[in-house]
Amino acid sequence: MPAEMIVVGAGPGGLACAIAAAEAGGSVLVLEKADRIGGALPYSGGHLSAGGFSAQRERGIEDDVEAHWEDVRRISRGTGRQDLTRLSLAEQPAVLEWLLDAGYTIDPATPRIVHGHEQYRTPRTVHASETPGGPEILRVLGVLLEPHLASGKVEVRCGTGVAGLLTEGEAVVGVVTTGGQEFRAPSVVLATGGFGYAPELFAELEGAPLTTSAAPTSTGDGVIMGREAGAAIQGLGKYIPTFGGLPPEGGDLRVDWLHRPQLTAPERPPWEIYVDRHGRRWVAEDDPSIDHKERKLTGIDRMTFWMVFDSRALRESRPMVHGWTPEELDARCGARRGVHKADDLASLAALAGISPEGLAEGVERYNKAVAAGRDDDFGRTHLPAPIVEAPFYAIENHPVTLITFAGLDVDERLRVRREDGRVIPGLYAVGEVIGSAAVNGNAFCSGMCLTPAMAFGRIVGRSLAGA
What does the mean pLDDT of the chain come to? 96
Cis peptide before 399 (omega within 30 of 0): no
Going from the C-alpha of 269 to that of each of 113, 284, 398, 464, the distances in angstroms are 18, 11, 20, 50
pLDDT in tens, 354-397: 999 999 999 999 999 999 999 999 999 999 999 999 999 999 99
Q: Which residues lie below 8 Å from residue 175, measured CB to CB, with a gap of 6+?
A: 6, 8, 31, 162, 163, 164, 165, 166, 182, 183, 188
Q: Which residues lie below 8 Å from residue 109, measured CB to CB, with a gap of 6+?
A: none
Q: What is the mean pLDDT of residues 223-229?
A: 97
Q: What is the mean pLDDT of residues 305-315?
A: 98
Query: pTM here?
Result: 0.93
pLDDT in tens, 40-74: 999 899 999 999 999 999 999 999 999 999 999 99
DSSP 210-232: --B-S-TT-S-HHHHHHHHTTB-
End-to-end CA distance of the chain: 19
pLDDT at 467: 65
Q: Which domains does the chain have, with CATH numbers?
A: 5-236+403-464 (3.50.50.60), 243-400 (3.90.700.10)
pLDDT in tens, 235-290: 999 999 988 899 988 877 888 878 999 999 999 999 999 999 999 999 999 999 99
Q: Are 437 and 235 spatial neighbours (Cβ–Cβ below 8 Å)?
A: yes
DSSP 288-312: S-HHHHHHHHTTSGGG-EEEEEEHH
Measuring CA to CA, which residue among 282, 320, 327, 285 is closest to residue 303?
A: 282
pLDDT in tens, 150-171: 999 999 999 999 999 999 999 9
Q: Which residues lie below 8 Å from residue 315, measured CB to CB, with a gap of 6+?
A: 326
pLDDT at 1: 54
Q: What distance in Å separates the CA atoms of residue 444 and residue 117, rounded to the nearest whole number?
A: 6
Q: What distance in Å separates the CA atoms of residue 429 and residue 40, rounded to the nearest whole number?
A: 16
Phi-psi region of 414 (alpha: psi -120 to 50; beta: other; left: phi over 0): left
Q: Are 217 and 34 spatial neighbours (Cβ–Cβ below 8 Å)?
A: yes
pLDDT in tens, 322-348: 999 999 999 999 999 999 999 999 999
DSSP bridge pairs for 275: 281, 306
Any long-range contacts for 102-108 (C-beta under 8 Å, 24+ apart)?
102/140, 102/143, 102/144, 103/140, 103/143, 104/128, 104/136, 104/137, 104/140, 105/129, 105/136, 106/55, 107/133
Q: What distance in Å separates the CA atoms of residue 245 and residue 260, rounded to the nearest whole number?
A: 5
